[in-house]
Amino acid sequence: MEMKKEGDLAVDMPMHGLPELFESFSDARKQGFLAMKSLKEQGYGVVGTFCSYVPVELFLAAGLIPVGLCSTSEETIPAAEKTLPSNLCPLIKASYGFAVTGTCPYMYFSDMVVGETTCDGKIKMYELLGEIKDVHVMELPRSQHKESSMALWRSEIQLLKKKIEEKFKAEITDEKLREAIRERNRERALLKAVYELSALKPPPLSGLQQLQILYGAQYKFNHGEKVRELEETICRVKEAYAEGKRPVSEKAKRILVSGCPIGGATEKVVRLIEESGAVAVVYENCTGAKQYDRQVPETGDPYEALAGYYLDIGCSVMSPNPNRFELLGRLCAQFDVCGVIEMLLQSCHTYAVESRRIWEFLKERELPFLSLETDYSSSDTGQLKTRIAAFIEML
Ligand code: BJ8
């Protein structure tokens, strides 16, 4: 008889309706506050992060709870602007604003925050954040293909291991680390399976629903439950599709969304795309494929495996940044998109400068491209709506 492993779809699992499952993900950030409080009461250590480059497997191997910190709404930006310049990326201002105002429960519960030297604004913000929290900053190289980059990043991962072991009196063995890699890979594979559903024509999910699952999943802290819920969601979406349910029109133009991380206030871009009669089928950014497309090797030296995997993330802070283009080209083909919309957060220089290369890359493939700059306010909604509607109209 075949043994059931954790994460296998249990046959006796109570089946929920799709709307309930979607709601569970769209509500996850809010519900996660209570789950986090309870975990703290049980004595778990919590580590807050802001970026996909941070190797969360180290926290899992030490029995800690990693959490993405609040950074996607405008409510704390005025407080942040008392210290930070106003012409700074809203993600950085919001992150700092939530910390100084004490309004992010995840920041409040974090025993430590792990930052990274990705962009200049974040690096300098972490110095100020260090006055409020215990901040450990990882030095990320800006180039992926030099031998010295790999050596530096590997040693940074080992430094973080040492810091965690000292601070939390925990031991990270290679075995625990390998187990954490397997756990995280399982989650990555399922989130990839969620977004790959939208390769179907028409997609079985709206772009907003897909985004809510990808974004919400990070606020579910019980691995086993998260795995089962993702499996159930995939299974129910497929069933509904097989029964002939088509939530998205066949005529909807298929859009790939690229650029800065999207979620919270910037969901407005996805809403406007879908209100204009198109559908966001895939997110190439850190909310989507950039985080879940690949797997960490499960054999060999786990530090080498983690260093190689994380260093290869195709973020615009890398120079050059070939991996973003490789992923972008592959996703455009796999999802058969008719156009690409890039969302740039105001004052994000690395993505803004890279935008011209993206335009050239897509032009060679005869794919229309729209690059939009926005922030977390709703003041530009009218202007965004006009530009998005005109772009979709001409596809
Ligand atoms: S791996 S995309 S999560 S750095 S904060 S770079 S928007 S100016 S978030 Fe990012 Fe890591 Fe890269 Fe992903 Fe620009 Fe703002 Fe900097 Fe930003």
Provide the residue ranges of all domains of the chain, joining segments of one domain with +. Answer: 31-169+249-395
CA of 152 relative to ligand 1 center, distance in Å: 20
Residue-level pLDDT at 16: 61
Under-70 pLDDT residues of the chain = 1-16
Q: What is the pLDDT of residue 31?
A: 85
Decide if 309 contacts 58 (C-beta within 8 A): no
* Burial degree of 329 (CB within 10 A; 0-12, 13-18, 19+): middle
Pocket test for ligand 1, best of 51, 96, 316, 372 (most atoms within 8 A of CB): 51
CATH among 3.20.20.70, 3.40.50.720, 3.20.20.140, 3.40.50.11900 for 31-169+249-395: 3.40.50.11900
pLDDT at residue 47 in the model: 98
160-216 pLDDT tens trace: 999 999 999 999 999 999 999 999 999 999 999 999 999 999 999 999 999 999 999
Q: What is the pLDDT of residues 127-164, one digit of tens each?
A: 999 999 999 999 999 999 899 999 999 999 999 999 99
CA 227 – CA 180 distance, rounded (Å) = 14
Q: Please give the biggest Cα pair distance in the chain.
A: 64
**170 CA distance to ligand 1 middle (Å):** 30
pLDDT digits 0-9 by tens, 248-273: 999 999 999 999 999 999 999 999 99
From ligand 1's centre to the CA of 90, what distance in Å?
A: 11
Kindly report the pTM of this predicted structure. Answer: 0.94
Distance 241 CA to ligand 1 centre (A): 35
Contacts of 23 (CB under 8 A, 6+ apart): none
Pocket of ligand 1 (CB under 6 A): 51-53, 89, 91-92, 118-119, 121-122, 260-261, 286, 313, 315, 317, 345, 348, 350-351
Looking from the CA of residue 119, the nearest atom of ligand 1 is: 16
Residue with the smallest CA separation from ligand 1 atom 8 is 348
- Is the peptide bond prior to 320 cis by the omega test (within 30 degrees of 0)? yes
Query: CA 325 to CA 345: how far, in whole Å?
Result: 19
CA distance 86 to 353: 20
Distance in Å, CA 393 to ligand 1 centroid: 30
pLDDT of the residue at 212: 93
Residue with tokens 């997609």: 203
Query: What angle do the packed helices 18-26 and 207-217 form, to 10 degrees?
Result: 60
